[in-house]
Amino acid sequence: MRDMGSGDDKPLGDPSLGAFDPEERMLDFGEAGSARASRKSSDNAKIVLKRVSGWRSRYEEWRDETSRKLERVDLAPDLAQNIGSGTWFRGLGTMLGLGAVALLLWPDFAPLEARPAMALDEVALDEFRSHMIMPLALGADSGRQMGAGPKVRALEAAPERPQIELVATLGRGDSFDRMLQRAGLSSADASRVQELIGGAIEMEELTAGTRFDIVLGRRVAEGTPRPLDELSFRAKFDLELRVENNDGRLSLRRNTIRVDDTPLRIRGTVGQSLYRSARAAGAPASAVQDFIKALDGQIDLNRSVRSTDEFDMIVAYRRAATGERQAGQVLYAGIERDGEPKTQLMRWGEDGIFYEASGVGEQRNGLIAPVPGRITSGFGMRRHPILGYRRMHSGIDFRARHGTPIVAVSDARVSAAGRMGGCGNGVRLDHGNGLSTRYCHMSRIAASRGQSVRRGQVIGYVGSTGLSTGPHLHYEMYRGGRAIDPRGVRFVRRAQLEGRELVDFRAALARLKEVEPGAALVDLEIRPEEVAEPEREIEKLDNPLQVS
């Protein structure tokens, strides 16, 4: 359409007329215009529109123009692109400027001063100062009277303490002499102390973790080591050694500690778990393990022991007059049912073997597996995996990883150990009565010829030496020099006491069973000569002298 009132033949969309707003309203030109339009309706008359520009249209024009300009300006350019260009330097300047603004606006973390709850004058400040912890640290009582006044002057040099008390611990791999010198002793004092202690005990008996109470005296001259005034430590459970300084000469004093060896007897009901019940009754963990191991070598714990049975355990126990206690190995292991002993085992002899009350020695329920693993090849004829033809497989193969420990299946004596042809590194054990076993393909041997080994003792480690396709254990058993299937052999080992030894064993068992449960837990009665003399005046008030 064209604007008929302007006189110019221009389209409505011409730029000189401004942008056409579809939301602009039609203008009413009065009755004359309406009549003229009505008369020309049949001739397709044109409507004359007049565009009115307001603040809204001008604002939108400015906004569109500004948006187009800002789109052409990159305020945050990628500094990884166009390095060295004007845009890149402008972006670098923007980044540095923003960083400077952030540093200027960095908050201050200085402490805020709070107004005190009360007015503090000089008197109040002196009151607070005198109640500080510093007088306590210096060995004085707290209180206002202990506070230093304004006339107190600091010493130019503090005097040395007359004595220094410290505790030194012997570490693993450390030497006794180095430990003493590290604690502050001179080399002469350390050598003298080592000489004195070496004359009382073997120095090898000093174990790692032994604690030494050391008292060092006043220096003779500035810069010299302090002399040793006293050194004491627990050399044994029943022996205390003390090195004292007597007018410049070091001497040793032995203090023998009274010890009671009454065994500790623990009884209780088996319940759901024998281990947990024994631990709940107060038995040490190591003693419970020995107790269960002793019973397992004699009976089947899963089938022969009921939850209503009672366990009876006697442990070697020592009580010192100074209060220390020490638990040892299990001496007696028993199971009772309905008040009657069902199993009675007592440790006897130098080897520490458990014997039944009848004098029959420890019974071993068959052989144990040499390694923890499944059998991959059985006993009999088979095709050899390396040689390629059928031959007799005179043992069984256990699957195991390289380095797995190999144990003896029963007590034995090592009859051979070393290289054994296709067996590789191997060990042969003689179990007595014509029975022997051999262990092949070891990576390392842990036993030597002529050595006696116990059931479960490590004799080597799994490997792949000799005719072997991979790490495994080849295990053989011989009876009278002839190879047999190890899976078909289960034997027990028993020992029998006779004569005088049997009489002594039964007498010791009777004495052991007379021990009352828990009797060893009572503290020893302190004798008058074992009471230490009070060293401080305040301690003497607890034991006043009786004047008659």
| Averaged pLDDT for residues 148-175 | 82
Choose between 5 and 424: higher pLDDT.
424
Inform me whether the pLDDT recorded for 401 exceeds 80.
Answer: yes
> What is the pLDDT at residue 32?
46
Inform me whether the pLDDT recorded for 267 exceeds 60.
Answer: yes
Amino acid letter for position 84: G
Average pLDDT taken over every residue of the chain: 79
Residues 258/530, Cβ–Cβ less than 8 Å? yes
Which region among 128-132, 254-258, 396-400, 413-417 has the lowest average model confidence (pLDDT)?
Answer: 128-132
| Averaged pLDDT for residues 468-487 | 88
Q: What pTM was computed for the model?
A: 0.47
Measured CA to CA, the distance from residue 168 to residue 181 in angstroms comes to 10
> What is the pLDDT at residue 541?
54
> Shortest CA distance to 520 belongs to which of 240, 320, 256, 234?
320
Where does the pLDDT of residue 490 fall: very low under 50, low under 70, confident under 90, or very high at 90 and above? low
Render pLDDT for 364-376 as a digit per residue (tens, 0 to 9): 555 678 888 788 8
> What is the pLDDT at residue 49?
40
Where does the pLDDT of residue 17 fall: very low under 50, low under 70, confident under 90, or very high at 90 and above? very low
> Shortest CA distance to 468 belongs to which of 510, 513, 423, 431?
423
% of the chain exceeding 70 in pLDDT? 78
| Averaged pLDDT for residues 252-279 | 90
Render pLDDT for 449-473 as a digit per residue (tens, 0 to 9): 999 998 788 999 999 898 888 899 9
Inform me whether the pLDDT recorded for 358 exceeds 90.
Answer: no
> What is the pLDDT at residue 288?
92
Rounded to the nearest 10°, the torsion over CA 451, 455, 458, 461 is 110
> What is the pLDDT at residue 3?
43
Residue found under tokens 């080994």:
453
Sheet with 228-236, strands from edge to edge, namely 164-169, 211-216, 228-236, 239-246, 249-256
Q: Note the helical H segments in 204-343.
A: 274-280, 285-296, 301-304
Measured CA to CA, the distance from residue 380 to residue 362 in angstroms comes to 34
Element (H, E) at 232: strand 228-236
Inform me whether the pLDDT recorded for 311 exceeds 70.
Answer: yes
Residue found under tokens 């049912």:
337
Counting DSSP H helices and E strands in the chain, the numbers are 12, 23
Where does the pLDDT of residue 68 fall: very low under 50, low under 70, confident under 90, or very high at 90 and above? confident
Measured CA to CA, the distance from residue 225 to residue 189 in angstroms comes to 10
| Averaged pLDDT for residues 294-304 | 81
